[in-house]
Structure 1
Amino acid sequence: MEDVNVPFVEVHYVTIQKVGDIPIVKGDFKELPPQVQKWVAQMVQLCTPRGVYICDGSDEEAEMVTQKLVERGTLTKLTKYENNYICWTDPRDVARVESKTFIVTDDKYASVPHSREGANCVLGLWMSPEEMKVQLDDRLPGCMSGRMMYIIPFSMGPIGSPLSKIGVQVTDSNYVLLSMRVMTRVSSEIWKHLKHGEEFVKCLHSMGCPRPVERLVIKHWPCNPEKTLIVHFPDIRKVISYGSGYGGNSLLGKKCFALRIAGRIAYDEGWLAEHMLIMSITNPKGEEKFVAAAFPSACGKTNLAMLTPAIPGYTVRVVGDDIAWMRFDKQTGELRAINPEAGFFGVAPGTNMKTNPNAILTCLKNSIFTNVGETADGGFYWEGLEDETPPGTEITSWTGEKFILGEDKTKKSSHPNARFCCPARQCPIIHDRWEDPAGVPISAIIFGGRRPEGVPLVIESFDWKHGVFLASQLKSETTAAAEHTGKQVMHDPFAMRPFVGYNFGHYIQHWLDFEKDPNNKLPKIFHVNWFRLDENKKFLWPGFGDNIRVLDWIIRRTNGEDIAEVSPVGLLPKKDSINLQGLVIDWDKLMSIPKEYWVNDIQETLKWLDDQLGDDLPKDIRDQIEKQKERLSQLK
Structure 2
Amino acid sequence: MDELKKLLEDNEYRKLVNIPVAKVHKFILDSILLCEPEDVFICSDTPDEVAHIKNMAIVSGEESSALLVPGHTFHFDGIQDQGRDREVTKFLVPKGESLSSAINQIEREEGLKEVLGLLKGSMKGKTMIVRFLVLGPANSEFTIPCMECTDSWYVAHSVDLLYRKGYPTFTKLEEGEDIFRTLHSAGELNESMVSKNYDKKRIYIDYKEDTVYSVNTQYAGNSVGFKKLALRLAIRKAHREGWLAEHFMITGIYGPNKRKTYFAGAFPSACGKTSTAMLPGETILADDLAYVRNINGECRAVNVESGIFGIIQDVNSKDDPVIYEVLTNPGEVIFSNILVKDAKPWWLGMEFELPKQGKNFSGEWYEGKVDEKGEKIPPAHKNARYTIALSALKNCDPELDNPKGVLLEGIMFGGRDYKGYVPVQQAYDWAHGIIAYGAALETITTFAIIGEEGKYEINVMSIQDFVSISLGQYIKNYLDFGKKLSRKVDIFGVNYFLCDLNTGKFLNTRRDKHIWVKWMELRVHKDVKARKAPTGMIPLYEDLKKLFGQVLNKEYSEADYKNQFTLRVNENIGKVDRVKDFWSKKVSDTPKELFDVLDLQKERLLEAKRKYGEYVLPENFEVID
In the superposition, the TM-score normalised over structure 2's length comes to 0.89
Give the superposition deviation at 1:295. Answer: 0.3
Report if aligned partners of 2:348, 2:381 keep a CA contact under 8 Å in 1: no
CA–CA distance in structure 1, aligned partners of residues 451 and 567 of structure 2: 29
Report if aligned partners of 1:472, 1:493 keep a CA contact under 8 Å in 2: yes
Among 562, 571, 582, the residue aligned to 1:608: 582
Q: Which residue does 1:270 correspond to in 2?
A: 242
Q: Which residue does 1:385 correspond to in 2?
A: 350
Q: Sort the Cα spacing of 1:487 and 1:141 in 2 relative to 1 into closer, same or farther, 3 A.
A: same
CA–CA distance in structure 1, aligned partners of residues 34 and 366 of structure 2: 46
Among 21, 24, 42, the residue aligned to 1:34: 21
Report if aligned partners of 2:528, 2:543 keep a CA contact under 8 Å in 1: no
CA–CA distance in structure 1, aligned partners of residues 81 and 397 of structure 2: 34
CA–CA distance in structure 2, aligned partners of residues 206 and 191 of structure 1: 23
Q: Which residue does 1:540 correspond to in 2?
A: 507
Give the superposition deviation at 1:395. Answer: 4.4
Report if aligned partners of 1:454, 1:592 keep a CA contact under 8 Å in 2: no
Among 313, 326, 329, the residue aligned to 1:349: 313
CA–CA distance in structure 2, aligned partners of residues 204 and 528 of structure 1: 38
Report if aligned partners of 1:17, 1:23 keep a CA contact under 8 Å in 2: no
Aligned partner letter, 2:254: T
Q: Sort the Cα spacing of 1:233 and 1:61 in 2 relative to 1 into closer, same or farther, 3 A.
A: same
Q: Which residue does 1:6 correspond to in 2?
A: none
Q: Does 1:338 align with 2:302?
A: yes
Report if aligned partners of 1:25, 1:51 keep a CA contact under 8 Å in 2: no
Give the superposition deviation at 1:384. Answer: 2.0
Aligned partner letter, 2:351: E
Report if aligned partners of 1:171, 1:206 keep a CA contact under 8 Å in 2: yes
Give the superposition deviation at 1:562. Answer: 5.0
Q: Which residue does 2:591 correspond to in 1?
A: 618
Q: Which residue does 2:275 correspond to in 1?
A: 303
Aligned partner letter, 1:306: M
Give the superposition deviation at 1:573. Answer: 1.7
Q: Sort the Cα spacing of 1:464 and 1:46 in 2 relative to 1 into closer, same or farther, 3 A.
A: same
Aligned partner letter, 1:48: E
Q: Sort the Cα spacing of 1:224 and 1:58 in 2 relative to 1 into closer, same or farther, 3 A.
A: farther
**1:536-560 CA distance string (max 9 Å, x none):** 222111132x322111211111112
Give the superposition deviation at 1:516. Answer: 3.5
Aligned partner letter, 2:262: F
Structure 1 residues 548-557 or 98-107, which shifts more?
Answer: 98-107
Give the superposition deviation at 1:219. Answer: 1.7
Give the superposition deviation at 1:56. Answer: 2.2
Q: Does 1:102 align with 2:90?
A: yes
Report if aligned partners of 2:447, 2:453 keep a CA contact under 8 Å in 1: no
CA–CA distance in structure 2, aligned partners of residues 97 and 402 of structure 1: 24
Q: SS of the counterpart of 2:252?
A: strand
Task: Note the residue ranges of structure 1 that are not aligned, 5 or more in a row.
Answer: 1-15, 114-120, 210-215, 309-314
Q: Which residue does 1:57 correspond to in 2?
A: 45
CA–CA distance in structure 1, aligned partners of residues 120 and 365 of structure 2: 41
Report if aligned partners of 1:108, 1:128 keep a CA contact under 8 Å in 2: no
**1:255-286 CA distance string (max 9 Å, x none):** 111x2111111111111111111010112421
Give the superposition deviation at 1:451. Answer: 1.0
Aligned partner letter, 2:346: Y
**1:190-237 CA distance string (max 9 Å, x none):** 32232455321121111232xxxxxx7152113432121111122332
**1:344-402 CA distance string (max 9 Å, x none):** 100011111122111122344211111111230x2211112234x7x879743443345
CA–CA distance in structure 2, aligned partners of residues 588 and 141 of structure 1: 62
Q: Does 1:358 align with 2:322?
A: yes
Give the superposition deviation at 1:185. Answer: 1.7
Among 117, 124, 129, the residue aligned to 1:145: 124
Report if aligned partners of 1:371, 1:419 keep a CA contact under 8 Å in 2: yes
CA–CA distance in structure 2, aligned partners of residues 428 and 302 of structure 1: 15
Aligned partner letter, 2:93: T
Among 203, 225, 233, the residue aligned to 2:198: 225
Report if aligned partners of 1:57, 1:181 keep a CA contact under 8 Å in 2: no
Give the superposition deviation at 1:404. Answer: 9.1
Q: Sort the Cα spacing of 1:584 and 1:107 in 2 relative to 1 into closer, same or farther, 3 A.
A: farther
Aligned partner letter, 2:451: H
CA–CA distance in structure 2, aligned partners of residues 285 and 602 of structure 1: 40
Give the superposition deviation at 1:178. Answer: 0.5
Q: Does 1:633 align with 2:606?
A: yes
Task: Note the residue ranges of structure 2 that are not aligned, 5 or more in a row.
Answer: 369-375, 610-625
**1:311-350 CA distance string (max 9 Å, x none):** xxxx3010011111111112xx111111010111000111
Q: Which residue does 1:396 correspond to in 2?
A: 359
Q: Which residue does 1:504 correspond to in 2?
A: 471
Give the superposition deviation at 1:20. Answer: 6.9
Report if aligned partners of 1:108, 1:126 keep a CA contact under 8 Å in 2: no
**1:473-498 CA distance string (max 9 Å, x none):** 10112111111343222211101111
Q: Sort the Cα spacing of 1:316 and 1:137 in 2 relative to 1 into closer, same or farther, 3 A.
A: closer
CA–CA distance in structure 2, aligned partners of residues 392 and 604 of structure 1: 44
Q: SS of the counterpart of 1:549?
A: helix
Report if aligned partners of 2:133, 2:163 keep a CA contact under 8 Å in 1: yes
Among 555, 563, 575, the residue aligned to 2:541: 575
CA–CA distance in structure 1, aligned partners of residues 53 and 284 of structure 2: 30
Aligned partner letter, 2:41: Y
Aligned partner letter, 2:18: E
Among 251, 260, 276, the residue aligned to 1:279: 251
Q: Which residue does 1:12 correspond to in 2?
A: none
Report if aligned partners of 1:26, 1:53 keep a CA contact under 8 Å in 2: no
Q: Which residue does 2:566 correspond to in 1?
A: 592
CA–CA distance in structure 1, aligned partners of residues 332 and 20 of structure 2: 31
Q: Does 1:443 align with 2:409?
A: yes
Report if aligned partners of 2:93, 2:206 keep a CA contact under 8 Å in 1: yes
Q: Sort the Cα spacing of 1:236 and 1:196 in 2 relative to 1 into closer, same or farther, 3 A.
A: closer
Give the superposition deviation at 1:623. Answer: 0.8
CA–CA distance in structure 1, aligned partners of residues 11 and 336 of structure 2: 28
Structure having the larger proportion of residues in helix: 2
Q: How does 1:175-574 map to 2 (within 5 A)?
A: 175-209=154-188, 217-257=190-230, 259-308=231-280, 315-330=281-296, 333-363=297-327, 364=329, 365-376=331-342, 378-387=343-352, 395-401=358-364, 412-470=378-436, 471-517=438-484, 519-534=485-500, 535-544=502-511, 546-561=512-527, 563-574=529-540
Q: SS of the counterpart of 1:285?
A: helix
Aligned partner letter, 1:155: V
CA RMSD of aligned residues (A): 2.3
Report if aligned partners of 1:22, 1:49 keep a CA contact under 8 Å in 2: no
